[in-house]
Chains A and B, each alone.
Chain A
C-alpha cells in the first residue's frame, strides 16, 4: 500500500488529534503542572521542589514555612498577599548584586536555602552562597541557625537593594500617615483589575459588598484574599465581562 499526503494527514489527525481527545477523556492530558512537591520517606516535602510558580501560601501549606516569615525575612511589603505572590516575583523586587565577580539574584533558590535553614531540612544549593543581611538577621533572631551556620552566613551576607521605590517595605523617609496616604493615592491611580487581583484589593478600591453582589450575583466570599478571577471562574461567569463592569465603576468614581 502506497502512503500519500492525504494518508499522512489522516494519520496526524487520528493519532495526534484523536490521541489528545482520548487522553483528555481518560484524564491523561492535563496541561496544568502538578505543583505539589515530592515527599521523602519520612513524610517531609523536598526543599529542591520549591518552584518559582509556588505562591507563599503554597509554601506555607506544603512546607509549614509561614508566609509571614518569608515576608519579614526577605523584607517584603507587609501587605504582600501570600495567595498571589509567587516565589519568582522576588526577581522583580530586588536588584541583582555583584559579589566576587558573580551576579547574585534574590529568587527561587534563595527561598530554598532560607527554607532549608529555617526548617532544618537538607538542601544543597549550587547557586546561593550569599544571603541578604535581613534574611540572616531574621534566622539568627529566631534561633534557626547552628553556631557553624551562623559563622558561615554572617560572613556571607550582602545588602539587598530594591528595584523600585514601590517595593520599599514601608517608608523610611515618610511618616506613617504620609506613607499610607501616598500608598492609597498610588493604588487609586494605578489599580487595574488583573488576573492576580484579589477580592480584598477590589473592596479596598471602594467597591462595596452590595455592589459586588449586584454585579456578580454572589456574596463576597468569606476569604477575601482569594483571587477575583478564580472566584469568578468558579461561579461560571466570564471574567472579562465582570472585570469590565468593575472597571467602569472604578473609572466613574
Chain B
C-alpha cells in the first residue's frame, strides 16, 4: 500500500520532467522546421537561447550597464531568469530537479547506470575528490559571467552540452560542445547528474539559494530512525541523515528523500515552511504501525 502511494508521488515529478523535455524537443524541432521554411507545429519556433534562463544570467551585466542584451539573447531568457530565481528563492533549485531537460536526460541515463552497477552506482569518485570537484561549477560560473561581460558574446554556447544536445542538427554547435556532451552522457552511466554536480554554472547560481531559501528541507531528529534511506536515494549524494535543516548547496529540491517518497517515518523529512517541530511520539507511533503493517 505504502509503496504504491510512493510511486504515484514520484510520477508527478516524472510527468513534469517529461513535459519540459518534450517541450524543448518540440521547440528545437520547430526551429529546425522554420529554418527549412516550414511552419512550426503547435507552438512557435524560438531559438533554444530564447528559452534558457542562463541566457538571462550571462547578459545581466550588459543589461544593467548598457541596457542591451548580449548577442543571441532575447528578452524572454531575461524574464525566465527572474521567474526561475523567484521559484528558487522559495523552493530551492526546483529548476534543476524538475524542469531542466538536460538534468532529466542525465537522470534517465542514470537509471540505466543504476541497473548496471547497483550499489556502486554514483559512488565511483572518492569522497574528498568529489567534494572538491563540486566547487568547479562556481569557477565556471564566474569565468562565464566575467568573460561574457567583457566580450558581449555568448561564449558559453561553444561549450554548452545542453545546447549541443537539443540543437544537434545546427551548424552552430561546436565540436567541443559535442565532445563535452558525449563525455557527460557516458559519465551519467556511472555518476548521477555529473554535469549538474560538477560543471553547470546555472546550477551553481541556483545552488547558492539553498542557504537562504524560504521553504527548507527539515529533518526531525526526534523521529528519525537513522535508516539512511534519504542518503542513499539522494542523486546529489548529500548527507541528509546528519543534518537538521538541509542547506547543502547541491540540493536540487527533487523531493526524493522526503517522507512523501522515501523516508519511512511520517513527519520526519519534509520541505516545510513556518512549521513547528512535531512531537516525536506521534510520528514514532506511525512508523511502528507502518513497519508492523498496521497502517492502512
Measuring CB to CB, which residues of chain A are less than 8 angstroms from any residue of chain B?
A: 1-6, 8-9, 11-12, 15-16, 19-20, 23, 28-34, 38, 48, 51, 193-197, 229, 238-240, 243
Given contacts A8-B94, A240-B38, 6 further A-B contacts (CB under 8 A): A8-B12, A15-B87, A20-B79, A31-B51, A33-B50, A38-B68
Q: Which 10 pairs show the lowest CB-CB distances between chains A and B?
A: A195-B37, A194-B37, A31-B46, A31-B50, A3-B271, A19-B83, A5-B12, A31-B76, A240-B39, A30-B75
Residues of chain B lying within 8 A (CB to CB) of residue A1: 272-275
Q: Does chain A have a CB within 8 A of B283? A: no
Q: Does chain A have a CB within 8 A of B180? A: no
Q: Does chain A have a CB within 8 A of B36? A: yes
- Are the C-beta atoms of B271 and A29 separated by less than 8 Å? no
Bound complex: CA A38 to CA B67 (Å): 9
Residues of chain A lying within 8 A (CB to CB) of residue B130: none
- Are the C-beta atoms of B16 and A29 separated by less than 8 Å? no
Residues of chain B lying within 8 A (CB to CB) of residue A30: 74-76
Shortest Cβ distance from residue A191 to the other chain B in the assembled complex, whole angstroms? 12
Q: Does chain A have a CB within 8 A of B123? A: no
Shortest Cβ distance from residue A124 to the other chain B in the assembled complex, whole angstroms? 12
Bound complex: CA A197 to CA B71 (Å): 26
Q: Does chain A have a CB within 8 A of B156? A: no
Q: Does chain A have a CB within 8 A of B280? A: no
Shortest Cβ distance from residue A156 to the other chain B in the assembled complex, whole angstroms? 23
Shortest Cβ distance from residue A234 to the other chain B in the assembled complex, whole angstroms? 15
- Are the C-beta atoms of B12 and A38 separated by less than 8 Å? no
Can you name 12 A-B pairs with beta carbons within 8 Å?
Answer: A2-B271, A2-B275, A3-B270, A8-B12, A8-B13, A11-B90, A12-B98, A16-B84, A23-B83, A33-B73, A229-B37, A238-B39
Contact of A5 among B34, B260, B267, B274 (CB under 8 A): B260
Q: Does chain A have a CB within 8 A of B9? A: yes
Q: Does chain A have a CB within 8 A of B175? A: no
- Are the C-beta atoms of B91 and A34 separated by less than 8 Å? no
Bound complex: CA A3 to CA B272 (Å): 5
**Contacts A6-B12, A38-B66, A240-B38 known; A29 to B76 CB distance under 8 Å?**
yes
- Are the C-beta atoms of A9 and B12 separated by less than 8 Å? yes
Residue of A nearest to B72 (CB): A33
**Contacts A5-B13, A9-B12, A243-B37 known; A51 to B71 CB distance under 8 Å?**
yes
Bound complex: CA A103 to CA B30 (Å): 33
Contact of B273 among A3, A6, A33, A51 (CB under 8 A): A3
- Are the C-beta atoms of A8 and B9 separated by less than 8 Å? no
Residue of A nearest to B79 (CB): A23
Residues of chain B lying within 8 A (CB to CB) of residue A193: 37
**CB within 8 Å of A: which B53-96 residues:** 66, 68-69, 71-76, 79-80, 82-84, 86-87, 90-91, 94
Residues of chain B lying within 8 A (CB to CB) of residue A11: 87, 90-91, 94
Shortest Cβ distance from residue B93 to the other chain A in the assembled complex, whole angstroms? 12
Residues of chain A lying within 8 A (CB to CB) of residue B152: 48
Residues of chain A lying within 8 A (CB to CB) of residue B69: 33-34
**CB within 8 Å of A: which B239-296 residues:** 253, 255, 260-261, 267, 270-275
Shortest Cβ distance from residue A215 to the other chain B in the assembled complex, whole angstroms? 17
Bound complex: CA A2 to CA B91 (Å): 12
- Are the C-beta atoms of A28 and B79 separated by less than 8 Å? yes
Shortest Cβ distance from residue A235 to the other chain B in the assembled complex, whole angstroms? 15
- Are the C-beta atoms of B87 and A12 separated by less than 8 Å? yes
Identify the interface centre among B79, B84, B152, B270: most chain A CB within 10 Å of its CB: B79
Residue of A nearest to B71 (CB): A51
Residue of B nearest to A16 (CB): B83
Bound complex: CA A222 to CA B244 (Å): 73
